[in-house]
Amino acid sequence: MSEVNKVVLAYSGGLDTSVILKWLQDTYQAEVVTFTADLGQGDELEPARAKAKAAGVKEIYIDDLREEFVRDFVFPMFRANTVYEGEYLLGTSIARPLISKRLIEIAKETNADAIAHGATGKGNDQVRFELGAYALNPDIQIIAPWREWDLLSREKLMAYAEKHGIPVEMKHKQGGSPYSMDANLLHISYEGRHLEDPAAEAEESMWLWTVSPEAAPNEAEYLDIEYKQGDIVALNGKAMKAHEILAELNRVGGKHGIGRLDLVEGRYVGMKSRGIYETPGGTIMLTAHRGIESITLDRGAMHLKDELMPRYAEVIYNGFWFSPEREMLQAMIDKASEPVKGTVVVKLYKGSVSVVSRKSPYSLYSLEHVTFEDDEVYDHNDAAGFIKLNALRLRLLAERKRKMNM
C-alpha cells in the first residue's frame, strides 16, 4: 500500500467509528475526512458532526441520501420481491452500495488517497463496502482497521475510547457493551450481547420502532397503496416522494407491531449469525407488491421472477450491486414491472398485514372466464384435450413401468 495522507472514513459517530477515527489519525498520521450518510437514522447525525469536529476533523460530510436510497436502491430491490433465505428483507445489505458510491465520490472531491470503514473481519459488510468501492474505482486504497488492529472486542474498544477521552453513547440501560446496531429508512438491526445465543429471546425493551403485537391497537387499520411501474407513488390517495412513503409505512407499521424478525442467517463469509430486525414499512411493501402483481403479471412472468429472486437476493446480500449480473437481472425485473399499476388495500392488525383488495387498469383477471356462474366465453370441453396432451407422457411412462414389472 502506498503512503496515505488523507482518508475518507464512513463515520456514524458510534463506538466503532469513533475509535477508528482516532486510530487512523495516530496510526497513519493522516488527515481524516468523515462521511456520514443520512439514510433515515435521524438524531444520530448532529452528534456525529459534533464528535468529528471535537476530534479535529476539518472536512465533515453529512449527506441527505434518503430519497436516492429509497428511489434508486430500495424500490428497485422490492420490484423483485427480494427476500434472503426466506425471511430477511436486506435492510443492511441494500444500504452498502450507496455508501460505497458516495465514499468514492468524496475521495475524488477531496483528493483523498484512501477510504476506510468500520466493518469487522467476521462480517458481510467488509465485503459489500469493498466490492462496491472497487467496482467504482479499481485503484482505490481501502483501510479496514478491524483487519489490522488488536481491538477485537467491544470491551477493548470501550477501554480504548476511555483512555483517549472518546465519548461513547450506551444504547443499553443495563450497562456493558452496546448492541451492534444499524439503522436506515428500511430497517433497524440488532446484534451482539445476549443475542449471540440463538436460544435467548430478545428483550421487549430493545425494540425501538415497533410496539409488540400484543400492545398494538385492537382495531385494524386499512391502507390504500397506489403503484406505478412496480413502485409505490401514493398512500391513501396522497402522492409522496419515495423516502416519505417508506417513512410513513414505517410509522403506521410500527404502530401495529408489524415487521419484527428474529433470524439466524448464513453470512457470505461462511458463518451463521443471529440478528434481530425491525422492518415495518418493508414488510407492508412486500405484501402489497405481491398483491398488485397477482392481477397484473402473467403466470409465466411471475413464476420466472420467483425462480430468479433468490439469486437476485444473494447478489445483493453478498455485495455485488454494481455487478453485470445484478444489472441484467434488474433489466428483466424492470421490464416485468411495466404493467404493475393500480391500487392495493392492506389490512394492518396486531403484527400482521394482509391484502384485502386489489385493482388495476392492466389487470389480467377476467371474471367472465373464472366465474362459477354461466358464461359464454369458455368451453369446458376444451379442457379434455388439454388434459390428454399433458397426460400423454405420463401415460407412456406408466405403460413402460407396467411392462418392466411384468
Give the three cell numbers for residue 26. Answer: 495516530
The owner of cell 444520530 is 44
Query: Which of the following is catalytic: 93, 100, 102, 125?
Result: 125
Query: Which of the following is catalytic: 12, 18, 93, 180?
Result: 180
Check if 366 is active-site.
no
What end-to-end distance do the CA atoms of the chain give, in Å?
75
Check if 294 is active-site.
no
Query: Which of the following is catalytic: 16, 113, 182, 231?
Result: 16
Check if 93 is active-site.
no
Tell how strand 60-64 and strand 31-38 pair up: parallel
Query: Which of the following is catalytic: 66, 79, 96, 326?
Result: 96
Catalytic residues: 16, 96, 125, 180
